[in-house]
Amino acid sequence: MCDRRHRSTFRMWPQDCTKCRFCTRPFPHKGEHRYLVRMGRNDNRIALGDTYSLYVDNQGNIKKYGNFSSTENFSTGVQVAAFDDHAAVLLKNGTVISSDGNADVKEWKHIKYIAAGKDHTVGVTDEGTVVCAGNESACKVSEWKNISSVYAGNGFTLGLTNDGAIKASGSNTDAVSNQSNVRHISISDNLIALTKKDGKVTIYPIGSAESLDTGSWTDIQSAAVGNNLAVGLKKDGTVNISYGDEEVVNKVSSWKSIKHVAANGSTVIGIDSYGKMHGAGDNTYKQYVDTTEADTNKQEETLGEVKNIKVDVTTANVVIKWDTVENASYYEVSVNTDPESKT
């Protein structure tokens, strides 16, 4: 087993843990609980297209905002991905559906990670190989091995190996294809952001686009890029931003307790640890509902009392249950481990 101390919730385990909590076998492996490995990934929970956003909440429900159109059922899943008007969702059974209803994608099985490009969909299998449907140039990935995650853009695909090296297929990849020690990748129409394992971020322009200065950023977990815009999610839940619009910069810089970020065009969205959405920039299609503004404008609401509290204590766990309180979005629980203390 991994020798780190983790929260009991499996989805909170770090990505570099290599053995399954449920049977101690190394990943990947087959078994009835294999889908829990997919739920353990803390990325691909939010995706931002050109007119919409998608978010997978803690119950596996996909929340949709803005103008999202698909012939497929995007109601539940464990991961979402988007690029412009193309989107995909990974289901908990390891299958994938894309917004264009691609028949080849529907045949995929045992997928653990997905990406959506402008005109192609990519998936990583449990064995670390890669499948792809759509753009022929971007889909020359059949020989890739030991891949942990994939990222897709306009006419190209990037794969991240288990040791942080980059595989590439398609155009506009020369600048990043030989990079190493990479933790996360983000792609927009004109930028590629590489988050390194040391928490630094480097932005690579595509075509004639200009790069952005992220040299002072530190402790970044993941980055997201739009058009001439980049944000970096720090380990402490705050967000760095490089952008020319001062109003957007000030707003994003004030965010706290953020768990996921996404960007597209001149729009930035974030989801905090309470599941609330934050947004800044263009919102023409109502791609986001900024809960920070809603909280400021609404009157303070008095919630009901928590009732029927039950505590079950064993040698290994303390389980606390209570009746749901109407309109409560989260609960705060404190536990006193010193029975002689009065606090």
The predicted structure's pLDDT at residue 316: 64
Give the model's confidence band at 151: pLDDT under 50 very low, under 70 low, under 90 confident, else very high: very high
- Give the Å distances, CA to CA, from 69 to 188, 197, 303: 20, 36, 36
Split at pLDDT 50, 70, 90, the class of 292 is low
The token duo for 61 is 């429900």
Instruction: Find the helix or strand (DSSP H, E) in which 297 lies.
Output: helix 291-297
Q: Distance (Å, rounded) from C-alpha 48 to C-alpha 252?
A: 16
Q: For residues 57 and 275, give the distance between their C-alpha atoms in angstroms, rounded to a whole number.
A: 7
Q: Please report the pLDDT score of residue 321 as a whole number.
A: 83
CA distance 229 to 77: 29
| CA 308-310-315 angle, 5° bins | 175
Share of the chain above pLDDT 70, in %: 80
Residue 33 has pLDDT above 60, yes or no: no
The whole-angstrom separation of Cα 219 and Cα 331 is 29
- Please state which of the ranges 5-9, 70-74, 220-224, 312-316 shows the lowest mean pLDDT: 5-9
pLDDT in tens, 305-332: 888 888 887 776 777 888 888 767 667 7
> pLDDT of 163-197, one tens digit each?
999 999 999 999 999 899 999 999 999 999 999 99
Query: What is d(CA 270, CA 283) in angstroms, rounded to the nearest whole number?
Result: 14
Percent of the chain with pLDDT over 90: 68
Provide the pLDDT for residue 3: 38
Q: In whole angstroms, give the CA distance from residue 329 to residue 274.
A: 7
Instruction: State the average pLDDT for the chain.
Output: 85
Please give the model's pTM, rounded to 2 decimal places: 0.77
**What are the residues whose beta carbons fall under 8 Å from the beta carbon of 193, sequence distance 6 or more?**
185, 186, 187, 201, 202, 203, 204, 214, 223, 224, 225, 230
Q: How far apart are CA 299 and CA 287, in angstroms?
A: 25
